[in-house]
Structure 1
Amino acid sequence: MLLYMSNSARETQSTPLHSVSVAGAVVREDGRLLAIRRADNGTWELPGGVLELTEAPEDGVAREVWEETGIRVEVDELTGVYKNTTRGIVALVFRCKPSGGVERTSAESTAVDWLTPDEVRERMAEVYAVRLLDALDGHGPHVRSHDGKQLIQAR
């Protein structure tokens, strides 16, 4: 039995699959940054998660921040695009302003805190700290790749 596959079907099969996530770099008026300690691995990161298929990126950021922290946000602008080359995850990071709510943990977070930039550098792995620090510098959007542990320098 001979099977025929169209060119578009062949191209689709060879196209690498990526997951798209969104995260909020939530900056308070005093310059402190919103962070969570993840329930699954205990690491400090900015709040975020997988973008749903029918969801606009800005809506996904607001939803994820709310779900993980209890903080409502206004989404300002895209500050960076970060690719985990090992896991095939592309993360879109948006600077946000808090607009209400009260800090609380969730099933995904065991702690919620407002950190100074120095505390971000101390508590977070480089690949997550850079996302928050990039959001502060006003020179974005930044585009960076990493292997899950360390940044990969651009060529």
Structure 2
Amino acid sequence: MTDLPKHSVSVAGIVVDDQDRVLVIRRRDNGHWEPPGGVLELNETFEEGVRREVLEETGITVHVDRLTGVYKNMTRAIVALVFRCTPAAGQPSATPEATQVRWMSLDEIKTAMTPAYYVRVADAFESSAQTKSHDGVNLR
């Protein structure tokens, strides 16, 4: 059997509060605003990965509600599974992975994030899961 190229799988949480604001981070490594998330570890379920990533990057514990989208970065071969979440406990605070953590409205997010990340947030407000591909910045 031929060795085929491999994909990386990541998870992200779109944490929405009771005012429809979304919890976002400014990444320490690149300074970009994004939803909290990262690489899914081999020994965890999708939901466990989302809870771990959100807690590590924001200090917030969440309930994972539902899958809202699947996104493929065609340039880097990353498949991202994105879930809508509800905050359960904790206060947002900077972490080793995020210089800032804050609640933003959809309008604020639209101007703060690249299209490839903004669409993940916007899709979390849709009634069914979405599938899209991008080049790391722009949708295809």
TM-score normalised per structure 1: 0.89
Q: Does 1:68 align with 2:69?
A: no
> Which residue of 2 is the match for residue 106 of structure 1?
95
- Provide the rounded CA distance (Å) in 2 between the counterparts of 1:124 and 1:31: 17
Matched positions, count: 140
Q: Which runs of 5+ in 2 are unaligned?
A: none
Secondary structure of residue in 2 paired with 1:120: helix
Structure 1 vs Structure 2: percent identity of aligned residues?
56
Secondary structure of residue in 2 paired with 1:93: strand
> Which residue of 2 is the match for residue 4 of structure 1?
none
Q: Does 1:148 align with 2:133?
A: no
- Provide the rounded CA distance (Å) in 2 between the counterparts of 1:117 and 1:111: 17
CA drift at 1:54: 1.1
Q: Deviations over 1:12-63 (max 9, x none)?
A: x1x2200000000000011000100000010000000000001000000000
> Which residue of 1 is the match for residue 66 of structure 2?
77
Q: Aligned Cα RMSD in Å?
A: 0.7
Q: Is the 8 A contact 2:68 2:126 kept in 1?
A: no
TM-score normalised per structure 2: 0.98
Secondary structure of residue in 2 paired with 1:136: coil
- Provide the rounded CA distance (Å) in 2 between the counterparts of 1:94 and 1:127: 15
